[in-house]
Amino acid sequence: MRFINFLIIVFLLFINQSKAQNINIYNCLYVSDGIWDPKKEDWLYDDEVVYSNYLYEVNNTEIVISKTNFKKNYKSWGWDKAKRNWLKQQFNDGSERWTLMGAHPPKYSTSIKRPDPEIVDPWLKKLSDEYSFIHLDVRYFSDIDKLTKAGAKVFRVKKKDIWSIDTNNGIVTKLWMSTDEAFEQRKIDEFERESRKGNTNWESNVKQVYTRKYFTESYAGDILVANNEYNHKLIIDFSDLSIRINSEYGNDRFKCTTKNQMSNKSNTSLKKKKIKKNESKIKNLLKKLY
């Protein structure tokens, strides 16, 4: 325990919080699958992601629209026409066929050469399922005006997102709290999912607050290593405030901030005109949400 307490003191000196009882890391960006930047209309991956409040707020936003309202409008937006390529896939019987991506119902070809791209309606599969709502990811952030006019709901997903390191015992606690709007939408989604299965009585798995604890194992070279009861390994690198969680399901990677550390720089160069084109709309929406 004395050794762990010594390590915690090192942490405090490192991030200049010598009087604090807890070291808090906030608002982590999940970068494993890439981060969408609407200003640049492009994905950012791993080292391309430089933490900023803007990127966090954008990727903490959810857009939900009823299927009824979406059907009424999406063709007038031109969203029913998308060029898709063919991808060769191997099937269980060992045969190989070309599959037209995004086609519903599925479309196949046994041509030796890759067929030419075709125009498909990429929404047909989603529109044919039994759910009442369509969830749109942040790639549609720049279309927020027409979506809200069509009745879409726009809300923050997380109200609180904190990693807290207790300096007395070395316990690292992850706290994730959803907003009321996100919580209610998750309950609606769960109800529809369970009803679809024919379940009339189930125990809800939707919670507004999630917590998980990790126990510090070591610290060296600005890197803290901790573990939890599920044998998930937590690695916090204080040199760049990045977090990695290794488990049997894969490796989840995050980039975070503290109250006193924030960067709005970008290491991706794009044309200024393209950035400014979307910036005003995005800022106006973020002002409403935050």
Q: How confident is the model at residue 8 (pLDDT cuts 50, 70, 90)?
A: low
Q: How confident is the model at residue 222 (pLDDT cuts 50, 70, 90)?
A: confident
The pLDDT value recorded for residue 41 is: 86
- Which residue would you say has higher pLDDT here, 167 or 55? 55
Question: For the chain, what is the domain count?
Answer: 1
Q: Per the domain annotation, does 182 fall within a domain?
A: yes
Q: Per the domain annotation, does 131 fall within a domain?
A: no
Structure tokens at 122: 């990429």
As a whole number of angstroms, the distance between CA 71 and CA 77 comes to: 11
The pLDDT value recorded for residue 288 is: 54
Q: Per the domain annotation, does 262 fall within a domain?
A: yes
The pLDDT value recorded for residue 234 is: 96
Give the DSSP letter string of 89-145: EE-TTS-EEEEETT-SS--EE--SSPPPPEEE-TTHHHHTSS-SEEEE-GGGGGGHH
The pLDDT value recorded for residue 269 is: 33
Q: Per the domain annotation, does 105 fall within a domain?
A: no
Q: What value does the mean pLDDT take over residues 229-247?
A: 92
Segment among 14-23, 202-211, 220-229, 261-270 with least mean pLDDT: 261-270
Q: Per the domain annotation, does 101 fall within a domain?
A: no
- Which residue would you say has higher pLDDT here, 127 or 219? 127
As a whole number of angstroms, the distance between CA 133 and CA 192 comes to: 10
Q: Per the domain annotation, does 77 fall within a domain?
A: no
Residue 274 has pLDDT above 60, yes or no: no
Segment among 20-29, 160-169, 228-237 with least mean pLDDT: 20-29
Q: Per the domain annotation, does 223 fall within a domain?
A: yes
Q: How confident is the model at residue 72 (pLDDT cuts 50, 70, 90)?
A: very high
Q: Which residue has the tokens 């039994």?
A: 130
Q: What is the pTM of this model?
A: 0.74
The pLDDT value recorded for residue 36 is: 87
The pLDDT value recorded for residue 25 is: 92
Q: Per the domain annotation, does 169 fall within a domain?
A: yes
Residue 5 has pLDDT above 90, yes or no: no
Residue 58 has pLDDT above 70, yes or no: yes
Residue 114 has pLDDT above 50, yes or no: yes
Backbone angles phi, psi at 188, to 5 degrees: -65, -45
Q: What percent of the chain has pLDDT over 70?
A: 82
Backbone angles phi, psi at 31, to 5 degrees: -110, 0
Answer for the pair 186, 206: CB distance below 8 angstroms, yes or no.
yes
The pLDDT value recorded for residue 262 is: 37
Domain that holds residue 167: 2-60+157-289
Amino acid letter, 174: K
Q: Which long-range contacts (CB under 8 A, 24 or more apart) does 84-93 make?
A: 84/117, 84/118, 84/119, 84/120, 84/122, 85/114, 85/117, 86/114, 86/115, 86/117, 88/114
Structure tokens at 197: 């299965």
As a whole number of angstroms, the distance between CA 63 and CA 57 comes to: 13
Residue 1 has pLDDT above 70, yes or no: no
pLDDT averaged over the chain?
83
Q: How confident is the model at residue 22 (pLDDT cuts 50, 70, 90)?
A: confident
